[in-house]
Amino acid sequence: MKTYSPKERLNDLDLPNLFNYATKELSQDAFLCWALEWRNIRGHQMCEFAYLLLESFVKESVYKNQIDPLDIEKVELIKQYKNIDVLVLAKLRNGSILPIIIEDKTDTSEHDNQLDRYREIIIEEYTDFPEPICIYYKTGYIFESYSEMEKHHYIVYDKLKILNIMKIFEDYEMPLLFCDYYAHLVTKQKYENHISFVYDRAVQCGNISILIETLNIDFAQWELMKKLTSNIETNAENNIRKGNNPNGNPWTLYDIDDRYLKGNDEAFYRVGRNKEGYYLSLRQYPKYDTAEFMKKEGINDKEILFQDKMKRLDIYRECFEKSVRELNKDITIYTSNRGAYESEIGCFRLDSIDTLVWLENNLAAVTNRFLQLVKQR
């Protein structure tokens, strides 16, 4: 079989690519183990790649001024050690072992405090160094906050970081598996870039459909919410979260500051879709019939709590209407009374470029004015 350089492989689109079919995280685990084990085989380009990958891990860690990556003589790879995706045991010339945790993700996210648990396990079991190097390796869109990952002592390793190393070898003949993975990541990055800039293209072309056609994709909604809420407060992206309806359609929320809301209400902006199309709505959310909520309110009657919720909703609607009308007397605000817990304070249909641009320019002012008015009531 003919061998290729990554650049040739990328340009030969007729070749089948293993990673079009091997899409699960276990397949990516296998690639990382395969690639890193080449560090044990001297005299091959893949050995150099494995060295550069390990070097990048060390240079971003707390050991960047303490460990020379050239001192890594051998690596041992362990998959699924106590549920850790990949554990790399880097054996140094002085006989010590530097553990490297790789938590590998494609399109899923961290859950159940798994990052802290894995780190604590390795700190207890490998004592040559006070800390393992912890890598959060993700090749899908990164919804997670980099700063939050760093609080857990994890280094976020995205597509661009691995591609920057792989690109060094793009003109050399490399194993086809390496070339396939390179082409796979380049394709994913191009697609992500395309989606990330779709808002700007829609505005430039004056065509809302360019944006709307992508909003069935979770990270397209996330990018839109980032765009609309970025000026509300510092680090606004940390308040964004996402999920899916029972039918599989994605939704994206932005939690607003609830200090000035009445009772024990929460409120958030939501990007989603209903029968009229995509929308951005501000919603009230108290789960008023739970024991915890009743205890906070000091009331055990669900009907009374529901009526109180609706009275607060009327106040929020008045304040939101005023906050919008002070800036725009013509834009349409929709409301719906559907939903026992989640009630619409006000909704904008994302059906025109004018509405979209107005929201981008004014949502922060509307939100802050809304909270100010609620505080005064």
Task: State which residues of the chain have pLDDT below 70.
Answer: 1-2, 13, 110-112
Asked whether the beta carbons of 148 and 156 are under 8 A apart, the reply is no
pLDDT computed for residue 73 by the predictor: 95
Centre a 10 Å sphere on the Cβ of residue 197 and count the other Cβ atoms it contains: 12
- Secondary structure E strands in the chain: 72-81, 84-92, 97-105, 133-138, 154-157, 240-244, 250-255, 266-274, 277-285, 343-349
Structure tokens at 192: 């992500």
Asked whether the beta carbons of 211 and 356 are under 8 A apart, the reply is yes
pLDDT computed for residue 9 by the predictor: 87
Cα distances (angstroms) measured from residue 33 to each of 36, 75, 80: 5, 10, 11
Length in residues, the chain: 377
Query: pTM of the full predicted structure?
Result: 0.87
CA distance 52 to 54: 5
Structure tokens at 45: 């380009």
With pLDDT > 70 as the criterion, what percentage of the chain qualifies?
A: 98
CA distance 338 to 272: 15
pLDDT computed for residue 111 by the predictor: 61
CA distance 355 to 332: 9
The torsion angle over the Cα atoms of residues 344, 346, 352 and 356, rounded to 10 degrees, is: -110
